[in-house]
Amino acid sequence: MMDVGRHPRIKLFVYSEVEDVSGYVGNFKVKVRKKARYVDENECNACAECAKICPVVVPDEFQMGFSSRKAIYIQLPQAVPSAYVLDMNACLGNNPIACGKCVEVCDKKCIDYDMQDQFIDLEVGAIIVASGMDVYDPTELDEFGYTRFDNVITSMEFERLICAGGPTTGHFIRLSDRETPKTIGFVQCVGSRSERRGNRYCSNICCMNTIKDTVLLKDHYPDIEVKVFYMDLRAFGKGFEDLLRRSRSEGVKYIRGIPGEIYEDSKTKNLILDVENTTTGEVEKHELDMLVLSVGVIPRQDGDLIQKLLTLSRTVDGFFMESHPKLKPVDAPTRGVFFAGCSESPKDVKDSVTQASASASRAGILLSSDRIKVEAITSVIDKDKCTSCGICYQACPFKAIVVDRKAKIPAEVIEAACAGCGTCGAECPFGAVTMKHFTDEQIFPQIDAILEENPQDKIVVFACNWCSYQGGDNAGMSRLQYPATGRIIRTMCSGRVDEQFILYAFSKGAPIVLVSGCHFADCHYIDANRWTQKRVEKLWDKLERKGIRPERLQLEWISAAEGQKFAKVMREIEEMRQKVTPEEIEHTKKVLSDWKPKGAKRRPKKAEVKIEA
């Protein structure tokens, strides 16, 4: 961190928050709020005279509340810059009559009660999100007695107690009597891998953190008895298994079972654990001086704000989702934004540094060129047809469309920011948006071709490029059997599937139409498939009003790994197809005979479609 602070080409904004982000790759505009610290960081030489005289004492957040700090303080010993900050919520001196002692004692005159927040506008080409993570609060898991029993602490609190820079200068004590414990237990997976409470995912770092802690304890206190209660030990990284062996060889006992209940001996404040040892199948009792809950990690609480500012998407676990898990693991779906560390998923220091290096390289590649190449699958707006209604702006997950509704200035696509999902094209009611590739002129002839002969025997399937189409591919590669009546039309995103494609297919005699896309949490275009669902729901109503069974329009979310599901869905829909009668198809064709494409968008006649070699 010191190196970062000193680097001539790195500008560090500490005690600051990003207020707003606009623009797009290569041209981001970022507004930063530099919070008032009430101490001139350039003048302060951290002499600590102000803190010595400050009469206000509050719990020290960095030391997890185990020690105290003053109202004027340095957040942590290695803080960069090494300058004090005034906690105005705790300070008495906002009104100088009340206190003002720190101002009097500061020789450098660097304390200023009237300091205001500053807003700084930056222009940047790329953004790396390294917003970190929060730690699970185990208070809700009442059976572990956290906050009820003095000697139950979390792994984060353990770190402070064993740290040489901690409140006890590294002398490990238990909180009830300040004695060094003779027996200590660690409970793994607290708040992780649980369907009922906490989180479903594995927090990745807790097993190795505990193993490291046990080795540390044995180094400091060789006679201490250490027990680890676990479900599985996940020591899968380089050198991790060796560390586990070392821990075991030093006498640490690993017991496969999580305590069901913990009691406290009211006299000794010792803890009694009931544990089912799943290796022996017996219920055991363990008496410990101290218990450490190995808590999992959770996404940051302000993740919603960051997501909104940078138009990111998040997984069901709440961590930010990468553009592609294999091919673009550090890129965000928004071009020019990258991830580093636990904002993307729980990871250890090594993985965080690896990802940060990769992100820095990706950003470096981007910034080293004057121009960037983007895929040509972007949308184009016909300004003559555009009414500046703003629907495309609302639908665009990447905010790649600008429109001035009041001034009636037609919408415009920022091609560098457009990812080509096609949702704007599908949503535009005036046919003003056309796509480069996956055009209407390409999709309508595919529908025509599918339904040219024996349409009653075909199922028209719209599949998104990233998930459903790959799911079909997976089914084929896995040699899974499914009916051959399905005919797939690939689009980049299910958001591209225009209502008129579906109605046109029905008007041409399609018995069933299936729209399929990524699961909500997997959408490669942030939330474009939510628009698909909204559209399909509206169409179900529309079909019903026209006397067409809504069941004939099917919707399915299929991931690239779900070949089995793809095959199953195709089998089920084939059964449905066989129940669609010729009379029903004829009725649909009749009902939709007066159907016309929306707005001024014109469906090309077959003769007009030219295929160039």
Partner 1 sequence: MAEEANFKCLRCGQEFKLPYDPKAGPQERTCPKCRSNSVRRIKEQKK
Using CB under 8 A, list all residues that contact partner 1. 519-521, 527, 530, 533-534, 537, 540, 550-551, 553-557, 569, 572-573, 576
Widest CA span in the chain = 94
Element (H, E) at 162: helix 155-162
Q: Please report the DSSP string for 11-41 in residue order.
A: ----SEEEEEEES-TT-EEEEEEE---SB-T
Q: Is the bond preceding 550 in cis, omega lying within 30 degrees of 0?
A: no
Q: Which residue has the tokens 């592609």?
A: 324
At closest approach, how far in Å is the CB of 610 from partner 1? 37
At closest approach, how far in Å is the CB of 482 from partner 1? 15
- 3-class secondary structure per residue, 144-160: HCECCECCEEEHHHHHH
| Alpha helices per DSSP H over 203-327 | 206-220, 240-249, 303-310
Query: Which positions ≥6 away from 579 have C-beta within 8 Å?
Result: none
Closer residue to partner 1 in complex, CB, 38/466? 466
At closest approach, how far in Å is the CB of 182 from partner 1? 48
At closest approach, how far in Å is the CB of 519 from partner 1? 6
Closer residue to partner 1 in complex, CB, 296/495? 495
Own/partner long-range contacts of 350-359 (Cβ < 8 Å, ≥24 apart): 350/237, 355/329, 355/330, 356/128, 356/130, 358/329, 358/330, 359/128, 359/130, 359/330
At closest approach, how far in Å is the CB of 565 from partner 1? 8
Closer residue to partner 1 in complex, CB, 411/518? 518
At closest approach, how far in Å is the CB of 542 from partner 1? 12
Strands 183-190 and 225-230: parallel
Closer residue to partner 1 in complex, CB, 316/365? 316
Please count the other Cβ atoms lying within 10 Å of the Cβ belonging to residue 534: 13
Closer residue to partner 1 in complex, CB, 41/499? 499
Closer residue to partner 1 in complex, CB, 87/556? 556
As a whole number of angstroms, the distance between CA 431 and CA 423 comes to 12
Closer residue to partner 1 in complex, CB, 286/552? 552
Closer residue to partner 1 in complex, CB, 225/572? 572
At closest approach, how far in Å is the CB of 533 from partner 1? 4
Calculate the CA dihedral of residues 517, 522, 526, 528 and round it to 10 degrees.
Answer: 10
Closer residue to partner 1 in complex, CB, 33/519? 519
As a whole number of angstroms, the distance between CA 262 and CA 283 comes to 13
Please count the other Cβ atoms lying within 10 Å of the Cβ belonging to residue 87: 18
Closer residue to partner 1 in complex, CB, 538/596? 538
Among 499, 491, 456, 488, CA closest to 566: 488
CB 416 within 8 Å of CB 26: yes
Instruction: Tell me the residue type at 583.
Output: E
Q: Please report the DSSP string for 326-348 in residue order.
A: TTBTTB-SSTTEEE-GGGTS---
Closer residue to partner 1 in complex, CB, 35/542? 542
Closer residue to partner 1 in complex, CB, 141/513? 513
At closest approach, how far in Å is the CB of 79 from partner 1? 41
At closest approach, how far in Å is the CB of 518 from partner 1? 10
At closest approach, how far in Å is the CB of 566 from partner 1? 13
Name beta bridge partners: 146.
149
Calculate the CA dihedral of residues 430, 435, 438, 444 and round it to 10 degrees.
Answer: 30
Q: HSE of 153 in the Cβ direction (CA atoms, 13 Å)?
A: 23
At closest approach, how far in Å is the CB of 405 from partner 1? 22
At closest approach, how far in Å is the CB of 265 from partner 1? 40
Query: Which positions ≥6 away from 89 have C-beta within 8 Å?
Result: none
As a whole number of angstroms, the distance between CA 312 and CA 305 comes to 10
